[in-house]
Amino acid sequence: MAESGDVVETVKQGYAFDGPALELGALLVDDEPKPEATVRIPLGMMNRHGLVAGATGTGKTKTLQLMAEQLSAAGVAVFAADVKGDLSGISQPGESSDKLLARTKAIGQDWTPTGFPTEFYALGGQGTGIPIRATITSFGPVLLSKVLGLNDVQESSLGLIFHYADKAGLTLLDLKDLRSVITHLTSDEGKDDLKELGGLSAATAGVILRSLIGFADQGAEAFFGEPEFDTADLLQQRDGKGLISLLELPNLQDRPALFSTFLMWLLADLFHDLPEVGDVDKPKLVFFFDEAHLLFADASKAFLSAIAQTVRLIRSKGVGVFFVTQTPKDVPDDVLAQLGSRVQHQLRAHTPNDAKALKATVSTFPSSSYDLGEVLTQLGIGEAIVTVMNEKGAPTPVAWTRLRAPQSLMAPASAEQMTAAVQGSPNNAKYSQAVDRESAYEILAAKVQAGAQQAEAEKQAQEKAQQQAERSQQQERPRAQKQEKSMVEQVVGSSAFKQFARTAGREIVRGLFGAARRR
């Protein structure tokens, strides 16, 4: 490693920016902080994206909190997924202690307890926060395929189903809408429509339908529907500070693909709605994508391509994206290449896989005087190896940094504080009540009911005709019987028949008593 004085001077010059910047911390040399060598990120470079990485428990969440606070203070809106609930304390002033003040003094930080304007959200209202929902149509087949774990063929087939629904005027708002469309296509009534789609087989449609049913059984129904969340609500300021929007993620382990993909939907929706602004002095919004490895796990090529394209282009919309995960290898190369700032916390090398990840992480940093393979395993909690983009877009010197302490509460806010914030929010009335207007489910259900009513009417008409036929037969039978009786009565009542009957009677009597008729 170079001499201490050389390192301090290199970092001072490398991080001496003219414009506003986020203060990350102070250079650390031989376990001594150097407050004159401040490590910073230019505010104008925050839309060039970044990565916050490190093993569990090394301080990634506090780094995210520190950056979010300073962005808010600069008037920049922030969105973050609050995976463990720890970030909710950002709404409350921090709590002072002797240990905290000693640390902040050593790195030259003027620490003042401060709370920041915060909005709490929850997917589908499953949590304390304001409900966030999306319609199935806006979510689209690519993102939904990722959630359902479909293969490439099934993903393509799901795209055909979306195309059919759009062409047929069957609006897809929630899961039951999509299920009803697939059920229709696999029914006798919809087999002609299925044939017209060409590339969709009944077997594949059945697989997708079963996947949707299983997905709904996990409680996913609540995440889709209306009112759909307007991502413009993330771009707010309150009292001159950028609004910090936190998405609560309860039971993440039960539906990891859903949560990560839902975050991707938010990002894609922002990309779709925001105008082009080019390079700006400060971003409109910085989006922190926590547990980023969940987003990329088992993702299709189409999905990864969509992410890479969104991250690449959304910069010009004034949005910065920071992925928060354990190692850089969790992020695909096409995405990793676009991340200008790196804050790397401690990595562990207890297993061969850990050693491989460590080696891959070292390779992502610019050359430096550090033996990063060794340093990255020695970092303390709240320390990180940092390199960012300077104002000219070039990488800054790699710096072993002791990070600043957040000024807000470094613990979860109380349930009472969160509930009060939610109830007092103007967005609560806007999104709290779910709406279920007419869509594919109702249209197809009405069609089925109309068909059933028509079939019932035809059945009743047939039964009525049969009953009329039977009544006609019953009316004809007594008439015929009456005519037959009249003919018999005429014969029996005639004098000839009576004479014949008397003669026949005498002959029968003679025969019975053995009296032969004399000649």
Residues 217 and 238 in one domain: no
Q: Is 517 contained in some domain?
A: no
Q: Which two tokens stand for residue 442?
A: 């109702």
Residue 417 in any domain: the answer is yes
**388: CATH:** 3.40.50.300
* Bridging pattern class, strands 118-123 and 399-403: unpaired
379 is a domain residue: yes
Confidence of residue 492 (pLDDT cuts 50, 70, 90): low
In three-state form (DSSP H/G/I as H, E/B as E, the rest C), the secondary structure along 459-512 is HHHHHHHHHHHHHHHHHHHHHHHHHHHHHHHHHHCCHHHHHHHHHHHHHHHHHH
Q: Are residues 249 and 345 in the same domain?
A: yes
Q: Are residues 12 and 90 in the same domain?
A: yes
d(CA 408, CA 405): 9
Which H or E element spans position 14? helix 4-14
Of 253-262, 276-285, 348-357, highest mean pLDDT: 276-285
Strands (E) in 373-429, as ranges, are 383-387, 399-403
Q: Which of 380, 400, 431 is the last residue of a domain?
A: 431
Both 117 and 170 in one domain: the answer is no
**81/302: higher pLDDT:** 81
Look at residue 222 and tell me whether its pLDDT is greater than 90.
no
Confidence grade of residue 125 (pLDDT, cut at 50, 70, 90): confident
What span, in angstroms and rounded, lies between the C-alpha atoms of 245 and 267? Answer: 14
337 and 257 belong to one structural domain: yes
Q: Are residues 26 and 117 in the same domain?
A: yes
| Per-residue pLDDT, 514 | 41
Statement: residue 482 has pLDDT above 60: no
Q: What is the pLDDT of residues 340-381, one digit of tens each?
A: 999 999 998 888 888 888 988 998 898 888 999 999 999 999
Report the candidate in 323, 279, 348, 328 with the shortest Cα–Cα distance to residue 47: 279
Q: Is 86 left (phi over 0), alpha (psi -120 to 50) or beta?
A: alpha
Average pLDDT of span 12-37: 95
Cα–Cα distance between 126 and 258 in angstroms, integer? 13
**DSSP string covering 144-169:** HHHHHT--HHHHHHHHHHHHHHHHTT
Q: 242 with 75: CB under 8 angstroms?
A: yes
Does residue 211 sit within a domain?
yes
The amino acid at 346: Q
For residue 41, tell me if it sits in a domain: yes
Q: For 98-135, b where at least 16 C-beta lie within 10 A, e where not — what string?
A: eebeebbeebbbebeebbbbbbbbbbbbbbbbbbbbbb
Q: Are strands 32-42 and 21-29 parallel, antiparallel or unpaired?
A: antiparallel
pLDDT in tens, 68-121: 999 999 999 999 988 878 899 999 999 999 999 999 999 999 999 999 999 999
Cβ neighbours around 28 below 10 Å, total: 22
Residue 301: CB atoms within 10 Å? 9
Residues 416 and 498 in one domain: no
Averaged confidence pLDDT in the chain: 87
Residue with tokens 């960012």: 388
Q: Is 232 found in the same domain as 214?
A: no
Asked whether residue 293 is assigned to any structural domain, the reply reads yes
- Residue 387 φ/ψ, nearest 5 degrees: -150, 135
Domain total of the chain: 3
Residues 298 and 405 reside in one and the same domain: yes
Same domain, 164 and 264: no
CB atoms within 10 A of CB 55: 20
**254 and 391 co-located in one domain:** yes
Alpha-carbon distances of 309 from 2, 257, 303, 335, rounded to whole Å: 40, 20, 10, 9
pLDDT digits (tens, 9 = 90+) for 165-207: 999 999 999 999 999 999 999 888 888 888 888 778 888 999 9
Per-residue pLDDT, 356: 87
Cβ atoms of 54 and 66 closer than 8 Å: no
CA angle 92, 130, 231 (to 5 degrees): 100
Cβ partners under 8 Å of residue 462, min gap 6: none
End of a domain among 396, 431, 466? 431
**Contact by Cβ (8 Å): 368, 398:** yes
The residue from 185, 205, 221 where one domain ends is 221
Token pair recorded at residue 289:
């994508």
Owning domain of residue 493: 450-512
pLDDT at 295: 83
In a domain, 443, yes or no: no
| pLDDT for the residue numbered 511 | 46
283 and 390 part of one domain: yes
Whether the bond between 227 and the residue before it is cis, its omega within 30 degrees of 0, is: yes
Contacts of 394 (CB under 8 A, 6+ apart): none
377 is a domain residue: yes
